[in-house]
Amino acid sequence: MNAEMSTRNLELAQSNADLDNLIDSMNLPMVILSKKHKILRFTRQAGRLFNLIPADVGRSINNIRPMIEVANLEKLIDESIQADASTDHDVKDTHGRWYSLRVRPYQDVDRKVEGVMLQLIDIDRLKRSEEGLRASETELKKSYEDLEGKVRERTADLEKVNALLETEIRAHEHAQEKLKSASFEKDNFLATLSHELRNPLTPLTHALELMNLQNPEDAELRRLIGIASRQTQQIAALLKGLLDVSRTMREKVKLDLETIDVATIAQRAIEP
């Protein structure tokens, strides 16, 4: 009997050693607690984070000050035992490194809950990435808002410029209308002036022609009649030119282009 008991004790010790080696080989911070929160086992990695030493086996985890910041650890343990369910919580150690704390029921061979298992998974890189993403998102949002503000400012400036341009265009159109009206009035004035001046000029021209037909004996009188005749002809030509200009501006005359002798025109212009 003693030999059998000794053999079983050796087997149990070997099994415990194998279990310890297996748990340690997982390189995972893990603590196994009883229903009363007493420490049953823990890995070397858990010893550092939960501030445990081998002598703490059998003590309550509630009396240990772990290196991780978990304000409601006792409540989390009790809830996991009562609900027979696992929960995950993001926690930090005293150096600010992030871990995922998993609290899961610890069951015996009959699937009966005998305690809980605390596991810590290093998620610091993931958390830092998330924080970086949030910071980038915040910065991107700020940049987008700044861009929106600048777009609104530029839009407001463009609207002001457009309003000024529209005002200038209306003013230009109004000035064009005034110029067109003034030009129309000027053409009417020239046309009227031409007609009014031609009325007294016609009898004067006829009178000079009659005087010239009488062939006066006085040479000086004949010279003066000639001068007056030429001047009236020039005035008549000027009036005709004014009338043609007026008709051209009002698009009532069609210009016929032809080749002319400039020397002949110059000679006529300088004749007395």
> Residue holding tokens 């080696």?
21
Q: pLDDT-based confidence at 263, cuts 50/70/90?
A: confident
pLDDT digits (tens, 9 = 90+) for 10-52: 665 555 555 556 566 667 899 999 999 999 989 888 888 999 9
- Which own/partner contact pairs does 184-188 have at CB distance under 8 Å and 24+ positions apart? 184/250, 187/245, 187/246, 187/249, 187/250, 188/246
In angstroms, the CA 224 to CA 14 distance is 157
Rg, Å, the chain Cα set = 59
- The whole-number pLDDT of residue 224 equals 76
- The whole-number pLDDT of residue 177 equals 86
pLDDT digits (tens, 9 = 90+) for 193-225: 666 666 676 776 777 677 767 777 777 777 777
For 227, phi and psi rounded to 5 degrees?
-60, -45
Please give the C-alpha separations between residue 74 and each of 26, 29, 39, 71, 148, in angstroms, as whole numbers: 26, 18, 13, 9, 50
Burial of 119 (0-12, 13-18, 19+ CB in 10 A): buried
CB atoms within 10 A of CB 153: 10
Helix (H) or strand (E) holding 215: none
> Residue holding tokens 């703490």?
56
In angstroms, the CA 163 to CA 121 distance is 64
Calculate what percentage of the chain has a pLDDT beyond 70.
Answer: 78
Query: In this structure, which amino acid lies at residue 40?
Result: L
Short-list 224, 222, 243, 244, CA closest to 232 = 224
pLDDT digits (tens, 9 = 90+) for 155-172: 998 889 899 889 889 888
In angstroms, the CA 60 to CA 78 distance is 13
The whole-number average pLDDT for the span 242-259 is 66
Predicted structure pTM score: 0.49
Please give the C-alpha separations between residue 77 and each of 35, 55, 84, 160, in angstroms, as whole numbers: 8, 22, 10, 68
| Cα angle for residues 188, 190, 194 (degrees, 5° grid) | 120
Do the beta carbons of residue 40 and residue 60 sit within 8 Å? no
Higher pLDDT, 16 or 149: 149
Polymer length of the chain: 272
- The whole-number pLDDT of residue 182 equals 77
In angstroms, the CA 201 to CA 250 distance is 25
Short-list 101, 106, 48, 47, CA closest to 76 = 101
Average pLDDT, the chain: 81
Do the beta carbons of residue 118 and residue 102 sit within 8 Å? yes
Tell me the three state secondary structure of residue 76: helix
